[in-house]
A and B are shown apart, each in its own frame.
Chain A
């Protein structure tokens, strides 16, 4: 039963301020949360969403302001700051974006962890099991509790996380980007569960930057920008366009889909198998043409990274052949770059740049042997500096200059370094893996525009992504990867997002018949 009678919210954040160095991560944030409602906390990366939630859960201590929780007696009481234990006891359950599960334990063990005195002589699994059976039935969160978490799929792990909170009788559920790792179908079922829980009187707050799910699943939207709440209104009064503007602070030009003009085939996979275990690819046949973008949809962990490694020359296929412009692709990263493969890696901090090196060094990293940048094995600093200055200007890389340490730049600016380095070499093939993951709306639009430009210049672009909006916006053709199998790419016009979502979940990859 929704308990709205007392008038007090379940949770009240009052004037929360948190400052890291010069950065105001949260400034005077006020937010109330009532029983029975689902609130979406919308904001770009770096807007302070996660900081706010970490303060709420006691991972951080706010510099100012108070977190208040309704006591069972109906009055608001202060929550002890900086103590996750206190937050748990007050009924706050937090589902982090990166799951906090020990993979060597079973689901059940993860759930009971910390709920009993550490020094009791043994744990009582049977009582826990009975309570969980009941919870699973009432919430519809079915999961095999006796499997090790390492054997569970991502969606199942999330269910364990939610059960963990419910097992501790949480009244307030906080979810940080809950759909980032889910298929569209799994997301739907998650939101169904959340609605059910809210109807039983829980208060739910979820963090997101996906407009569609915010509009579809929440009762109220709070928008955070630059650490401050800039809007807090019922979802029924919002529309997509207006929310996007409030979130970014100005109107945004998103890249529009433009048809490509494909020419000859350039990158051809014939019966390629590679890798092992979950990241295996099997008998892949794929032909990428010049001047087109093929979008490869799939939930991560289905073989995308192996495919990307094969194209990058980092992995040798166990069967089949890969040809680039009629010549076999060498399994050697340096050769792959030389033969015109531009790589925009998934983990840009780790694989995209050398964090400790300067912007200018990172910009010429792949071309360091070319006569333009070295003579007799000695670097030509002036040429490198000139190149860096040009790229910083052309790509609008926000940094203090060519000598800035790359590691300290934001994700968007690091991605711009990667784009400038790879795309300015006029590659034949562009391999872009999750190129906009974690980027804000502006940076995303920038990445998309650059990929389209490369395509229009005549490059073949393979875009590997989990984001259906991105895929439909950019791709000329879309293929789906599931458990290492890739279906025949289909023209984007002939597909809709629901079909692709189903295929990502493994429902019969039919290719053309899907249209």
Chain B
């Protein structure tokens, strides 16, 4: 059976992890924002910003890690914008987020076109290469399946651990979880609701931007229009699937990555009979099914979407 063959190829697993990497960054970022009580629908646009800024920084001469830093800072900037609109001003998080997405996308395209007005095929950069980890990368099957990834994938996995640690083991994480559940509790303990929420949105947006940067600096080596292609929206769904937990977020991203890798291979096998669009649909369809099954029991942050005004009861 060709299905079994697909699952047994190291190549498939490596692709699943590669496809999951930007989603891991994105879903962690969305999770951090939502844990603090703010939905960040700017994610799709912040992915574009991260992809563009990271790539352009390298193209202009920065190192790869410098590019990553630039992408994160650009993401944090748009996070700050979303934060100011939704936290002290208390505007609708949906409207502001969608506005950020449109604005950030357009600004990125504009900057790209201004810098490269007459280029038809985008210039390439020297992207991250798969690491060659001694011993591990050389293991049969497991080596090529799991350990021949770029540094950014390992960075994403490290971020899962870091976000879990901060959320569950530090006073800062305690405060973030509290502010997403009941901001009055945070204020009554003398902490600033505004500072915590804006800080969380900025950090979360920086993570989202890294997801975009992965696409131009690791998965590919150039910036294209439309390359984000809904990855941000998938992250918003994955956060619900993950019940706002970093570990489950990783699982959800990997699952989606696996479905996507599977459908690409399936297309090659039976693509002649069934139109390819059907296969493109599969991961999204499955994510809807997964949401329906999981989300009903989801333990969402109680203050999500609710603006906080001081002195209000």
Which residues from chain A sit less than 8 Å from chain B, CB to CB?
50, 54, 59-60, 84-85, 88-89, 94, 96-98, 100-105, 109-110, 112-123, 164
B185 and A101 contact, CB distance less than 8 A: yes
Chain A contacts of B184 at CB under 8 A?
Answer: 96, 98, 100
Q: List 24 A-B contacts (CB under 8 A).
A: A50-B313, A59-B311, A84-B187, A85-B190, A88-B189, A96-B313, A100-B182, A100-B184, A101-B182, A102-B186, A103-B181, A104-B178, A104-B299, A105-B174, A105-B177, A110-B185, A112-B174, A113-B185, A113-B191, A118-B172, A119-B172, A120-B170, A123-B169, A123-B174
| Residue in A88, A96, A104 with the greatest tally of chain B CB atoms within 10 Å | A104
B188 interface neighbour in A50, A96, A118, Cβ under 8 Å: A96
Contact call B171/A104, Cβ cutoff below 8 A? no
Given contacts A103-B182, A118-B191, 14 further A-B contacts (CB under 8 A): A59-B311, A96-B188, A98-B313, A102-B178, A104-B178, A104-B181, A105-B181, A109-B174, A112-B171, A112-B174, A113-B171, A113-B191, A118-B170, A119-B172
Is the Cβ of A120 less than 8 Å from the Cβ of B171?
Answer: yes
Most B CB within 10 A of own CB, among A54, A100, A117, A120 = A100
The reply to whether A114 and B190 form a contact with Cβ atoms under 8 Å apart is: yes
Asked whether B185 lies within 8 Å of A100 as measured between CB atoms, the reply is yes
Please tell me if B301 contacts chain A, counting CB pairs below 8 Å.
Answer: yes
The reply to whether A113 and B186 contact each other, CB–CB distance below 8 Å, is yes
Please indicate the chain A residues that have their CB under 8 angstroms from the CB of B172 in the complex. 118-119
The secondary structure that dominates the B interface is helix
Tell whether, in the assembled complex, residue A100 and residue B170 are in contact, meaning their CB atoms are under 8 Å apart. Answer: no
Which of B178, B184, B185, B313 neighbours the largest number of chain A CB atoms within 10 Å of its CB?
Answer: B185
Contacts of B259-313 to chain A: CB distance below 8 A: 299, 301-302, 310-311, 313
Q: A98-B313, A118-B175 are in contact. Are A88 and B181 (CB under 8 A)?
A: no
Across the interface, name the chain B residue whose C-beta is closest to A124: B171
A59 nearest CB neighbor, chain B only: B311
A59 adjacent to B182 (CB under 8 Å): no
- CB-CB under 8 A from A118, the residues of chain B are 170-172, 175, 191
Q: How far is the CA of A114 from the CA of B190 in the complex (A)?
A: 7
Task: Give the docked Cα–Cα distance between A114 and B179 (Å).
Answer: 11
Interface-centre pick from B169, B170, B301 (highest chain A CB count, 10 A): B170
* A96 / chain B contacts, CB cutoff of 8 Å: 184, 188, 313
Q: Which of A94, A96, A97, A114 has the most CB of B within 10 A?
A: A114
Residue of B171, B299, B311 most packed against chain A (CB within 10 A): B171
Would you call B171 and A116 a contact (CB within 8 A)? yes
List the 10 shortest-distance A-B pairs measured between CB atoms, nearest first: A114-B189, A85-B190, A102-B178, A100-B188, A102-B181, A59-B311, A100-B184, A100-B185, A118-B172, A116-B171
Task: Determine the chain B residues whose CB is within 8 A of the CB of A88 once the complex forms.
Answer: 189-190
Inter-subunit contact A114/B311 (CB<8 Å): no
The answer for the CA separation of A85 and B188 in the assembled complex, in Å, is: 8
| B240 nearest CB across to chain A (Å) | 16
Known contacts: A84-B188, A96-B188. The answer to whether A104 contacts B302 by CB under 8 A is: yes
Looking at the assembled complex, report how far the CB atom of B18 sits from the nearest CB atom of chain A, in whole angstroms.
Answer: 33
Chain B residues with Cβ under 8 A from A116's Cβ?
171
Residues of A within 8 Å of B175, CB to CB, are 113-114, 118
B301 & A104 in contact (Cβ 8 Å cutoff): yes
The docked-state distance in angstroms from the alpha carbon of A84 to that of B177 is 20
- The CB with the most chain B CB atoms within 10 A, among A59, A60, A97, is that of A59
Tell me the bound Cα distance from A98 to B170 in angstroms: 27
Q: Which of B177, B311, B313 contacts A104 (CB 8 A)?
A: B177
Q: In the complex, which residues of chain A have a beta carbon less than 8 angstroms from the beta carbon of B299? A: 104
A113 touches B182 (CB 8 A): no
CB-based contact B174/A113 at 8 Å: yes
Least CB distance from B173 to A in Å reads 9
A59 and B309 alpha carbons, distance in the complex (Å) = 10
In the complex, the answer to whether A105 meets B188 with C-beta atoms within 8 Å is no
In the assembled complex, the Cα of A164 lies from the Cα of B189 at a distance in Å of 9
Q: Given known contacts A102-B178, A103-B182, is B170 in contact with A122 (CB within 8 Å)?
A: yes
Alpha-carbon gap, A84 to B170, bound state (A): 23
B182 / chain A contacts, CB cutoff of 8 Å: 100-103
CA of A343 to CA of B289, assembled, Å? 41
- B301–A94 CB distance below 8 A: no
Of residues 216 through 265 on chain B, the ones whose CB sits less than 8 Å from some CB of chain A are none
A121 contacts which of B170, B189, B190 (Cβ < 8 Å)?
A: B170
Nearest CB in chain A: distance from B183 CB, A:
9
Residues A102 and B177 in contact, CB atoms below 8 Å apart: yes
Min C-beta distance of B242 to chain A, whole Å: 15
On chain B, the residues within 8 Å of A54 by CB distance are 311
In the complex, A60 Cα to B313 Cα: how many Å? 12
Contacts of A112 in B (CB 8 A): 171, 174
For B311, the closest partner residue in chain A by CB is: A59
Those of B138-194 within 8 Å (CB) of chain A: 169-172, 174-175, 177-178, 180-182, 184-191
A123 to B168, CA, bound (A): 10
Shortest Cβ distance from A87 into B: residue: B190
A residues in contact with B188, CB < 8 Å: 84, 94, 96, 100
Taking a contact as CB atoms under 8 Å apart, the answer to whether B171 and A84 are in contact is no
**Given A59-B310, A88-B190, A104-B301, A117 contacting B185 (CB threshold 8 A):** no
Q: How far is the CA of A118 from the CA of B311 in the complex (A)?
A: 23
Bound-state Cα–Cα, A100 to B191, Å: 13
A117 / chain B contacts, CB cutoff of 8 Å: 171
Q: A110-B178, A121-B170 are in contact. Are A100 and B187 (CB under 8 A)?
A: yes
Most chain-B CB neighbours within 10 Å: which of A96, A118, A122?
A: A118
State whether B311 touches A60 (Cβ < 8 A). Answer: yes
CB distance from A122 to the nearest CB of B (A): 5
For A104, list chain B residues within 8 Å (CB).
177-178, 180-181, 299, 301-302
- The distance from the CB of A457 to the nearest CB of chain B, in whole angstroms, is 38
Which of A84, A97, A122, A123 has a CB less than 8 Å from the CB of B190? Answer: A84
Q: Which residues of B contact A110 (CB under 8 A)?
A: 178, 185
A188–B285 Cα distance when bound, in Å, is 58
In the bound complex, do residue A113 and residue B178 qualify as a contact, i.e. CB atoms below 8 Å apart?
yes
CB distance from A290 to the nearest CB of B (A): 41
- Residues in A whose Cβ lies below 8 Å from that of B310: 59
CB distance from A70 to the nearest CB of B (A): 20
> CA of A113 to CA of B185 in the docked complex: distance in angstroms?
9
Bound Cα distance A54, B184 (Å):
13
Task: Determine whether the beta carbon of A115 is less than 8 Å from that of B178.
Answer: no
- What's the minimum C-beta distance from B180 to chain A, rounded to whole angstroms? 8
Q: Give chain A residues whose Cβ lies under 8 Å from the Cβ of B187.
A: 59, 84, 100
A105: chain B residues at CB < 8 Å are 174, 177-178, 181
Question: What separation, in Å, do the CA atoms of A104 and B177 have in the docked complex?
Answer: 8
Q: Which of B189-216 contact A (CB under 8 A)?
A: 189-191
Residue among B185, B188, B189 with max Cβ neighbours from chain A (10 Å): B188
Q: Which residues of B from 50 to 92 have beta carbons under 8 Å from A?
A: none
Q: How far is the CA of A272 from the CA of B145 in the complex (A)?
A: 60
